[in-house]
Structure 1
Amino acid sequence: LKTFRISYVYFKIVNSKMNKKFAIFYLLIVIPLLIFSQSNEVIDSIYLNALNAKNDSLKVIQLNDIVWETMFNEQGKALKIAKEALKIAKKSNNPYIISDSYNTLGAYYTIISDFYTSIKYHEKALSIRLKLKDKLAIMKSYNNLGSAKKEIGNHQEEIDYYFKALNITEELKDTISQTKIEMNIADALIRQQQFEEAEKYFIHALELLQILGDVNGQISCYIGLGNLHHNTGKFNRSIEYFIKVEKLVSSNTNNYILAKYHANYAALLKDISEENKAIKHIQESIKLNDKIGNTNSNLVNYINLAAIYESQKKTLLAKKTYLNALKIAMETGSKQWQKQAYLGIATTSYDLGDFKIAFDNYEKYAQLKDTLQGDEITTAIEELKTKYETQKKENEINLLQQSDLIKTTQIKTQKAQLYTKNILIISSIFVILVIVVSIYFILQKQKSKNELEKALAIKVTEETERLRIAKDIHDDLGSGLSKINFLSELIVKDKNLTNETTENVQSIAETSIKIVENMRDLIWILNPENTTLFGLVSRIREYSSDYLEDYPAELTFNFPNNVSETTISKESYREIFMTIKEALNNIVKHAKATIIEIQIELKNNAIEILIKDNGIGIVSNDSIKSNFLIGNGLKNMRYRIESIGGLFKLESNANIGTIIKILISLEKIKN
């Protein structure tokens, strides 16, 4: 306003003292220069104020605002200020303004078409915003990343980011942002040829925009629908949507959207052979973009306009338009569009016979191309080079080309032969390795099988021999001991024997009985069918019942109902059973008990045996200690259980009697 006021005063002075022509010149030329100068002065003033601000957060916000104002027209200044803002933000260690600075740099690099750098900064902003859980900022970062991924052709990641942003807008109930993102999703779906899904998102966004009364948004939506039907070849339907845009356009229409409308409508008109109308719309789009400083979009316009001129055989005009595009691309640093401009200049120069210019520009195009397409590009360069040099040394070049072709053919042939030879060698080595490895595994398998069969044969032989020994012991030794016992009892009944002889004979009888009992246990163990967990529990029950049958005490069993047939080692079977025998023997000899309880539990992959009596107990801890030291029955019981990896615990006093607890893991006693 200050600038307008000053200019108006100057204009009145000039108009009063000079002729009208000079006044009009002043109005058209001098005042705009004053406005532009004043605009730069305002930006410089804001910049100085920002640097002098005491609060770093406010300083960074103001600097980033300047970047947004200048990034379209003064990229050098914008980048310098953006980096300065980021430096201050990092120094402040404020994650909010750091993420905003990264976001601003991402936007800057999008404007100059350096999309990979743009993605890098947007990802940094997103990383911080995710930690802050700032959903609105996260949504914006997702949307920005989707737009950047679109420009590098990664359409799957583009649409993934858009959907993440859409979820947040629905969660925040941010309808305005939702419509923008739904239109972005629709555009992405068009690029993936999913036209029906794209139309659904456009229609839904349009319905929301109509409710909001957002005319500019509706225009954008109609443009998108027009492009959609343009892509599917439904040109009449596409025209209908662009006509709807024309009806909505007014003086309040956003110039950016209006420029977009003209550019997209021009693309449709070109495809339906309305090239002259297309040219008018592109020129209108260029004017609007120049007005708002949207230089990047004009790059596309100039390239498209030049292509139309080229198709109309207006080669010189096409070349000039490509040169305009190249100038803008060089100013904005957009290598992608520089490449397209170089290619256009090369093709038009070629058609005009300017082979040197054509060659130079095609070479620049090839250097900028991300991935050279081998022979196609090389051939094109060589062709242009040949056209240029034929004016001087056509025959010499032809000979050199023929020589190069022969050499290339020879090299290719040699490479092909070498490749085939290498393939044969590698294949042979591979086949040999497969055969050797297969033979090795077959031999190893056969060896393992033989060892297993040998082990099984030995085991079967051992079991057979054990059964034979058990049978022989039972038949021979058992019958002999029974006979000794019987004869001893007859002798004892003889009244003519002395007392000493009678005692000796009774001792023989008792010894033979014990040997028979031990022999019975040995035979039981030797039978492989009995060395199982079930066999052990059954034997304990059977032995306890027989042994305590005549003892004046109440015997109680608490055994599990279902005991598995898990095979256990002979050593484990013997040590556990002998410990039980020793415990029962001690009760009978010393305890004076009236109640005896034997309990067996199987839990947590272990066997727990409890033998309890209500007898007089062991007299004192000293006697327990002495028993273990002198190696009596208690010490033997502990040793037996610990030798097979079990735990042995003894509790005894006059009040509770004696309790023996045995705990053994089943894994340690399995055979």
Structure 2
Amino acid sequence: MKLYAFLFKNCFFIIFFCSTSIAANFNKLEIKTPVDSIINKYSKNTGEISEEEYKKLVDISYEYSDNMRFEDCENLNFFLLDIFKEDLKRVAMIYHLQGYNFARQRKNKQAESNYIKSAEIRRKIGENLLLNYTLSNLGKVYYDLGDYVKAIESYNEVLEVATKIDNKSTKALGLSGIAIVLSDQKKYNEALKYIRESTDNYQIINDSMGIGRNYYDIGEIKYLMKEKDSALYYFELSKVIGQTHKDELVVSYCLHRLGSIYFEQKKYKEAESYLLQSLARRKEMNYPLEAALSIIDLAKLYKKTQQYDRAATFALEALELSQQTEFLKGQYFATEILSEVYAEQHKFKEALQFYKEFKQIGDSLFSIEKNQKIEEFHTEIQIEKRTNALKLQHAKQKNMLLFICSALAVVAILITVYFLRLRARNKRKYEYRIKQQETEAEKQTLLGVYEERKRISRDVHDDLGSSLSGIKILSEMIFDKTNDPFLKEGHRKLLEMQTEVTQKVRDIIWTLNQENNTLEKLTWYCKSYAEKIMESFEIKTTIKIDSDIPLLEIDDDVRKNFFLCVKEAINNILKHAKASQVQMIFTYNNDIFKVEIRDNGKGFDKNNVKDFKNGIDNMKIRMDVIEGNFEINSDSGGTSVIFSKNIPQNRD
């Protein structure tokens, strides 16, 4: 999921900047000319550069950036800045070009500096339309830097300017930008509201290309909300519109996302077809980072379908591209795939080498994500403070209006009301300050607890998890080299025990991680656990998940005890039931979350359960601890176990 979150952000980066750049309208052969020749050509007749030639130079600058000739672009921009330094309009454009060039390189701090300079000049000379394009790009830079407060401020200024000049196109850009920020904060319904308002503006001006890009963003949000069918619809729609307008970049992203969804649905032929089409387009457009993403998903697909040679070939290519573009997450996923593929091929030396690289990159990524998480906490606090300040300001204005209205009525009543309101306002302000301090203290405490649990989880994963993985690799090597049947049987049992211990370690890590404290993640983890263990015992498993299960936060105890009850029920089936079929049903109706597990085993007599009485008692006790309900019914046709608990959506 983290890879796809990055994919969503990266797609928005490219699409958004493409929508705010000027399309090249000159002979492409000009781009093949060395930048020094272009500079020499125009430096001889700077006083005679026409408006048409100036626009041509601007287009060349954009093309240099888009073709990753960043140094040539920077040299050309410095040349233009020198010869047009007295022309504020063109200086603003050149700073914009420099910002675009740095943004394409993901040098966001330099991009921010240049966009700010461009925006300041354009405000000064009243270039409102072009100002909005600069502000839109600046908002995206702040978004990439994780400064959501400044990103929202930039997009809000875009909306203000767009309303002032009555420009629907840039208004749509601002609304889309706000939607992306909200989506990154998992405020999906608010994000959809903004993106649909943006689409309405594009429809007013008949901008079907803008509509197509918005459909892609809606598809991404629907995908993150687990509404896969709806997501497929919007990706297909965006792809058709992109093909109509030859918007190859958007088409490539739609193809990639369609392929990834079909991969999750185990429709491997369709997934392979879409991913290969996406890769071909990205290579043709010379977008190495995006190509690396497509290659990684193809490598995963080939690994899943046991085409290990192809998986290794694609993973190596993805690793090389990721190293060239300094794409750390791409290196992380590529080394992980390579270590697993080589282990499956019994190439344990290569597997161990890439596993070590995978661990090293993972540690670096964890440090980066930890810092980003802390920054996100601070950003949320700042947003909350600003929101509360605006509410307080609004309350003051409302009180002042009431004061003026009352003054016009009766002076005596006004004085009384004024002092009463003044006292109440001071009390509210005092209570607000106390509450704010309490909120701040609570957040710091929760942050401390969160970091400690993350540390424990990481230590368990890195120390114990790495040791177990090492034991497994060594055991497999010994197993392959041993011909003694007795030793082989012993090593087989050792591998089974190691697999069981590894699963228990994963369960502990999952239990410790507070990011899993949602009803949705509990459901999907139980599903994943059941599918994996039943597959090992060749038991046919049918799992049904209610589409109406909401995104609700739950307590640690609720999540832990629900999972342990499900785990105990599954273990009882494996040990005692002798079942060939198991059905699991997850539902949420009338604020009641329910998990039902049925099997077609031999059943048991409720009056004679001494063999597994402890397990039944434990399940009942665990559900009692979280104030839930436990039911068990059994006969010769099988056994049914039901765990349920009231989890209301609207909780104070």
Superposition TM-score, scaled by structure 1 size = 0.45
Superposition TM-score, scaled by structure 2 size = 0.47
